[in-house]
Amino acid sequence: MAPKTEYAVIGGTETKVDGLEKVTGRTRYADDLSFPNMLYGRFLRSPHAHARIKNIDVSKAAAMPGVHCILTGKDFPIPFGPLPISEDEHVLAIDKAIYVGEPVVAIAASDEATADAACRAVVVDYEELESYMTLEEALAQKGEAIHPDHRGGNVHKEVPLEIGDVEQGFAEAEYLREDVFYYEGNTHMPIEEHACIGVPEGIDKVTLYSSTQNPHYGHRLLGKVLGLSPSRIRVVATPVGGGFGGKCDTFSHEFSACRMALLTGRPVKFTLTREEVFYTHRGRHPVLMWSKIGFKRNGKITAMYFKSFLDGGACGSLGVASTYYTGALQPCSYKIPHYKFEGVRLFTNKPVCGPKRGHGTPQPRTVMETQLDKTAVDLGIDPATLRLINAVEPYSKTVNHFRITSCGLKECIEKVVEASDFRNKWGKLPHGKGIGFAASVYMSGAGVPQYWNNGPHSEVTVKVGRFGEVQCLTGSTDIGQGSMMVHASIVAEVLGLHTRDIMVLNGDTATTPIDLGSYSSRVTFMSGNAALQAARRMRDQIAGVVAESFGVTADRIEFREYKVFNADNPEQSMDWPDACALTESKLGAQSSSGNYTPPDLAGPYKGGTVGPSPAYTFTALAVQVDVDPETGMIKIEKVWCAHDIGFPINHTLVIGQVEGGIYMGLSEALLEEMVYRKNRLKAPSLLDYKTITVAEMPEIETHLICTNDPEGPFGAKEAGQGPLLPAIPALLNAVYDAVGVRIDEVPCSPDKVLFAMEEKAEGGAGRYGPKAFLEHKMTSKPVRAPRPAEWENGNEGRMS
Amino acid sequence: MLRLPEFEYAAPTTVAEATRLLHERGTKAMLLAGGTDLIPNLKRRQFRPELVVALHKVEALRGIQERSGRLVIGPLATLAEVAAHPAIRSQYPALANAAAMIGTPQLRNQGTLGGNLFLNTRCSFYNQLEEWRNSDGSCLKAEGGKCQVAPGGKRCWAVSSSDTAPVLAALGAELRLVRHDDERMVPVAALYRDDGINYLAVQPGEMLTEVLLPVAGTWDRTAFLKLRRRGTFDFPILNVAGAVKFGAGNVVERISVMLGAVGSTPMAIDAQKLFAGKPLDNAAATAALQTQAGKRATPLPNTDASHVWRKRMVRVYTARILKELAT
Amino acid sequence: MKHMALTLRVNGQDRQILVSPSKTLLEVLREDLNLTGTKHGCELGECGACTVLVSGKPLLACLVPVAQIDGAEITTIEALGGPSNPDPLQVEWARLGAAQCGYCTPGFVMSAKALLDGNPNPTRDEIKEAISGNLCRCTGYHKIVEAIENVAQQQQVSKVINAVTIASRQTTAVEVRD
């Protein structure tokens, strides 16, 4: 049920502005666009995981009729990466290929089949090198490093951090546990395969239409890599047919399409095949983790020491951030007095890992929440109560210096306990049936941009025309989360209009102001605030003019139901278009802008910029399962979820995000994995990369907890990523409750459950998972930081 | 977008015309029924036929009818039609269930019974795009080279992945195979060979024209179980089919059990010897059947899920099919 | 290769095309007839994004060589209704947010349409079965099932209720609760 509000639009259940266009098949995604005289681009990709490129002979391909442009690595000498600190990627492999599927040659031809045939006619002479397909191999590094110029060899990044004194914390503990856990990598698998079209404009400009989440970052990187002034490049984000983080980076096909369009003077389209989408990846990192956690007998956490090894794939991408994220949010859901974290990211010869929904946090969240479950059993405290004992509080500082404002964690936990009847079920269901609990925290947008700059993170322009037409211009992109509706709702609410009166124009670097992009659950909070400011400024402009004509002060003017009123005399009103026309006649063309820059919330230590967010959401979740004791097959029966949304801009959209996040979490918990055999991805297809379908999807009962965030637009916080997180550990905890075994590995496939049950029956521990953590001596200087002042004198972080 | 290779196309209207084309063009021609197996295989360049002979205009290959007390199914009957057919559902529920569990609704509307019986064997090293296969020496079944699953051996271990084949074999169904100049009837079980490449025991130029079920009353109960990780889309990673005829006193008179998707061919388990004259819940016979099934099955790491687990599941599903037949 | 002259009946219109027999219906719809509402996610029959109706039955356009359906009646998402005259399924789908990114939606809607055409009063399990050949990565499937269920119920309550008003300023789906 949507909450009752004083608002006309906000918190409601109106159909999203682009809803009908999507259900009628009218939405034009990138591959649906075509231009006269268009060429088609294809890549020849590396068949080797690690190989020196000795020669590339394109002569046969170049001679083929219909072939118009052939590019190789030397045509793109400038390396790049989304983060300026790891610019280690090339559009096309130079000198050596570093994973199977890496683009090596790009060819544009009059049709796709010709481009494909031409790729097959290229002869590349490779010399295979020692390849590194696992963490162990990468660390041992028996041959040439994947990036020979990188200082750490195959060690891409080390993060050593200690806040407080964990040894002291462990000394105070009355119960200690250590666990090792492995979380396999997985991928976004958007149903839309990546596509883009580079279209030459005039003689020296290019427009890129692309299925991208982040046109602004793409704009920046295209300028850098193509060596073009940004004024010659326009990036238009087409409606994105599924992102989940997979369309955040700027990709080889985008650079190539632009360069080829400029070279040939013709539009060039690239549409990846499904297999190529798997190679493009940037998905969830495989992470091996070790965690030690201390408790008092009453369940209070005394300290945590967490170590992670990330298998990064062949390039940096956003992996430095991913590494920090595996250690950033543990102290944000539960009060941890002393905290130590060591994260290491390694390069391997596999497709590049990066940000997938939850970015670096589902893996440690899964470890921590299963550890809490094990602790609950050992200490004889029920899992929900154990979480309540440690839950962070509103308006507090975490031990790693992150500012918590609104926080409904305890309410979420209590709501799920009540809705699921958790305490009457946990430990009490018949053998084979079980219920599991978990909670989590996520950010409403990252506190710092991907490249350093002082500009706003979000800018929005609102324009009002003579007939009362309203345009809301935002650089954000709609990837299905409903950002167009969020903008329309905010502007409509402020101006007293219906969302259908607002035309939202988005994701176009030439016509819309800057927004950093649709990632990090930032759009509702950040761009929403910018839209709110822009709409209020527009309202004030119009109110001033109308007030004058009414002979009242501007603060008496109200906007409702397509009318502008005198609040003290509602008879005195003006239709919205008349108010717009009047304002224009007095003041000229009407536009207003709004900006949002998050407050500086960085922790006072190196790496303290990764994790701070202007607001955090909290989620609690319970999963009930039925495990077949003979097969280990898991049937998910029901999920209960409570999510602290702050306040929903649109109730329908929020429920959709919660359900979609839970689905994705359950799917990775049960099935999803990027598995390699020797150097090759085992299952680069939709049939073989298993995701749960409608047949496996359980009933979900969602409760929204409204904590009205003081800084969010209308109190809103994120919904897109948080609810995924607890689904995974809750499922593993439910399996334990059902059949008494611990699966310390994701995905939790039936063979693992069965083998753990067999081990238990034979008197073993009843556990499936990695036996040991990797030995590695950090070369980076340890970063030590004091605890925040709010933690002194036993205050546990509460802000005064 | 993945596209088909170029090919010549013919759409004959009679069996005679179709078999003549097969005879003339030999192995360079391939038959197209529903296309749900052939089209993806062509897109992956697993085959490169010169000629594709589409059968949809051959009316004689359609329909499900009764003839002399037997149900006769045209090989172009779609899996959806087989799954929904009232006589099949009442007399041979195992066949209807197997058909209903294949692929997805769209694939069952398109895919045919004949296509499922002739389904190309599958292997996770083989069912890949050309570039993937060739990036490490391809495989025996595609471009030659070595078997990627069992590199030491000479044979291909691609997996028989039909859901209807074990059922029809267990029922003792027969097939009419027609060539340009002759025809023959074979039991379904005799259609297959334990070889991932040459998995069909058919003569060059032969095509399937009829599937003949045994006369009604041959079996009292039939059952089918399929192991897969999702309730839709997936090929079997193990299936078991069974049929039983009870004698007086509710003991087994005749019983037939087949395993599928754990080797290159459907496999018969000799349940008759173990259960004849005994009730279906006989514990010793059940245990013996499980052991036998476990020995026959040769799951290898070339499908979804762990092959060790699949091997374990053979025993579980063998016991379960007996329970299904009993209830 | 030799091209073939074919007549396809698409959305009630005869369309003459000259194509290679190795073209699939998916390619012809999207590239020759510019009907881009039919999507593609794998081109191997593994996702359902290209579901269209052929003689009323949902099939995968990526697996049909176009020569094989010469003369058949083909219905794509474009025939179901546009933004100004949407099908009740489309209205409910949009209202519930059952289309997030929207990319898989046309395929799902076609599967649902075929279901309701043949079975106006499906059970929840029958609905799930009917869309079990379509993958969605955004929604978790709930809102999709609910949308189909609601439309079936609406149609059961009154066959007349398919009036959808699109006022200039407001979209209202006529709702009937049981």
The pLDDT averaged over each successive group of 10 residues in chain C (178 residues) is: 89 95 97 97 98 97 94 94 91 98 98 97 97 98 98 79 40 38
Q: What is the mean pLDDT of chain A?
A: 97
- Partner-chain contact A47 B1, CB within 8 Å: no
Domain C1-80 in this protein, CATH class: alpha beta
pLDDT given for residue C1 in this prediction:
59
Structural domain boundaries in chain C: 1-80, 81-178
Q: Does C77 touch chain A (CB under 8 A)?
A: yes
pLDDT given for residue C177 in this prediction:
36
User: Do B205 and B22 meet the contact criterion of CB atoms below 8 Å apart?
Assistant: yes
Contacts of C43 in chain A (CB under 8 A): 273-274
A642 and A776 within one domain: yes
Contacts of A518 in chain C (CB under 8 A): none
| Closest chain B CA to residue C107 | B106
Output the CA torsion B126→B129→B135→B138 (10° steps): 30
CATH assignment, C81-178: 1.10.150.120
Q: How far is CA A372 from CA A422, A423, A429, A627, A729, in A?
A: 16, 16, 20, 22, 10
- Helix H segments across C67-130? 77-80, 88-95, 105-118, 124-130
Per-residue pLDDT reduced to its tens digit, A608-648: 999 999 999 999 999 999 999 999 999 999 999 999 999 99
Per-residue pLDDT reduced to its tens digit, A184-220: 999 999 999 999 999 999 989 999 999 999 999 999 9
- Partner-chain contact C68 B54, CB within 8 Å: yes
pLDDT given for residue A153 in this prediction:
96
Q: Which residues of chain B have pLDDT under 70?
A: none
- Partner-chain contact B129 A112, CB within 8 Å: no
Contacts of A754 in chain B (CB under 8 A): 309, 312
Contacts of A30 in chain B (CB under 8 A): none
List the single residue in B129, B304, B312 with the smallest CB-CB distance to A275: B129
Q: How would you write A83-107 as a 3-class SS string? A: CCCCCCECCCCCCEECCCCCEEEEE
Strand partners, A404: A396
Rounded CA gap, A342 and B1, in Å? 44
* Residue range(s) defining the domain that contains residue A548: 456-596
Bond prior to A747 in cis (omega within 30° of 0): yes
User: Do C166 and C94 meet the contact criterion of CB atoms below 8 Å apart?
Assistant: no
- Partner-chain contact C142 A697, CB within 8 Å: yes
A706 and A627 within one domain: yes
Identity at A265, one-letter amino acid code:
G
| Closest chain C CA to residue A187 | C137
Q: How many CB pairs under 8 A join A and C?
A: 179
Strand partners, C57: C54
Contacts of A749 in chain B (CB under 8 A): 229, 305-306
Contacts of C5 in chain B (CB under 8 A): none
pLDDT given for residue B145 in this prediction:
83
The answer as to whether A793 is a domain residue is no
Listed in sequence order, the residues at least 6 apart from A500 whose beta carbon sits closer than 8 Å to its beta carbon are: A17, A488, C169, C170, C171
Strand partners, B238: B227
Q: Does B105 touch chain C (CB under 8 A)?
A: yes
The answer as to whether A292 is a domain residue is yes
Distance of residue A641 Cα from the nearest chain C Cα, in angstroms = 14
Q: Chains that contact A by 3+ CB pairs under 8 Å?
A: B, C
- Partner-chain contact C45 B2, CB within 8 Å: no
Rounded CA gap, A73 and A111, in Å? 23
Tell me: pLDDT of A478 over 80: yes
Rounded CA gap, C168 and A562, in Å? 13
The answer as to whether A153 is a domain residue is no
Distance of residue A652 Cα from the nearest chain C Cα, in angstroms = 6
Q: Does C88 touch chain B (CB under 8 A)?
A: no
pLDDT given for residue C175 in this prediction:
38
Distance of residue A685 Cα from the nearest chain B Cα, in angstroms = 8
Residue A174 CB neighbours (<10 A): 12
Question: Which helix (H) or strand (E) covers residue A462, if one does?
Answer: strand A458-464
A349 and A213 within one domain: no
Q: Say how many Å lie between the first and final Cα of chain B, rounded.
A: 49
Per-residue pLDDT reduced to its tens digit, A390-437: 999 999 999 999 999 999 999 999 999 999 999 999 999 999 999 999
A721 and A636 within one domain: yes
Mean pLDDT of A781-794: 93
**Number of domains chain A is built from:** 3
Supply φ then ψ for residue A756, to 5 degrees: -65, -40
List the single residue in B11, B43, B106 with the smallest CB-CB distance to C67: B11
Contacts of B128 in chain C (CB under 8 A): none
The answer as to whether A742 is a domain residue is yes
Rounded CA gap, A243 and A480, in Å? 8
The answer as to whether A3 is a domain residue is no
Strand partners, A157: A345
List the single residue in A271, A683, A685 with the smallest CB-CB distance to B1: A271
The answer as to whether A15 is a domain residue is no
Mutual angle of helices B307-326 and A750-761, in 10-degree steps? 90
A575 and A646 within one domain: no
Q: Are strands C73-75 and C4-10 parallel, antiparallel or unpaired?
A: parallel
- Partner-chain contact C44 B6, CB within 8 Å: no
Per-residue pLDDT reduced to its tens digit, A55-102: 999 999 999 999 999 999 999 999 999 999 999 999 999 999 999 999
Strands (E), chain C: 4-10, 13-19, 51-54, 57-60, 73-75, 164-166, 171-173
Contacts of C145 in chain B (CB under 8 A): none
Task: Say if C1-80 and C81-178 have the same CATH topology.
Answer: no
Question: Cα angle at A212 between A243 and A489, to 5 degrees?
Answer: 75
The DSSP annotation for A11-57 comes to: TB-PPPTTHHHHHTT----GGG---TT-EEEEEEE-SSSSEEEEEEE
Per-residue pLDDT reduced to its tens digit, A541-575: 999 999 999 999 999 999 999 999 999 999 999 99
The answer as to whether A796 is a domain residue is no
Report percent pLDDT > 70 for chain A. 100
A401 and A325 within one domain: yes
Q: Does C101 touch chain A (CB under 8 A)?
A: yes
- Partner-chain contact B229 A671, CB within 8 Å: yes
Mean pLDDT of A245-266: 98
List the single residue in B6, B54, B233 with the smallest CB-CB distance to C1: B6
A608 and A482 within one domain: no
Nearest to A327 by CA among A299, A285, A296, A294: A285
Per-residue pLDDT reduced to its tens digit, A649-703: 999 999 999 999 999 999 999 999 999 999 999 999 999 999 999 999 999 999 9
pLDDT given for residue C159 in this prediction:
57
Which domain-ending residue is among A228, A255, A280?
A280
In the block, tokens 């030690």 appear at: A292
List the single residue in A274, A682, A754 with the smallest CB-CB distance to B309: A754
pLDDT given for residue B152 in this prediction:
86
Rounded CA gap, A59 and A566, in Å? 76
Contacts of C42 in chain B (CB under 8 A): 2
Mean pLDDT of A474-500: 97
pLDDT given for residue A800 in this prediction:
77
A462 and A591 within one domain: yes
Structure token digits, residue C3: 């091209």
Rounded CA gap, A339 and A306, in Å? 8
User: Do A294 and A175 meet the contact criterion of CB atoms below 8 Å apart?
Assistant: yes
Q: Which of C2, C19, C20, C22 should we substitute to test contact with B (largest number of B Cβ atoms within 10 Å)?
A: C22
Per-residue pLDDT reduced to its tens digit, A3-24: 667 899 999 999 999 999 999 9
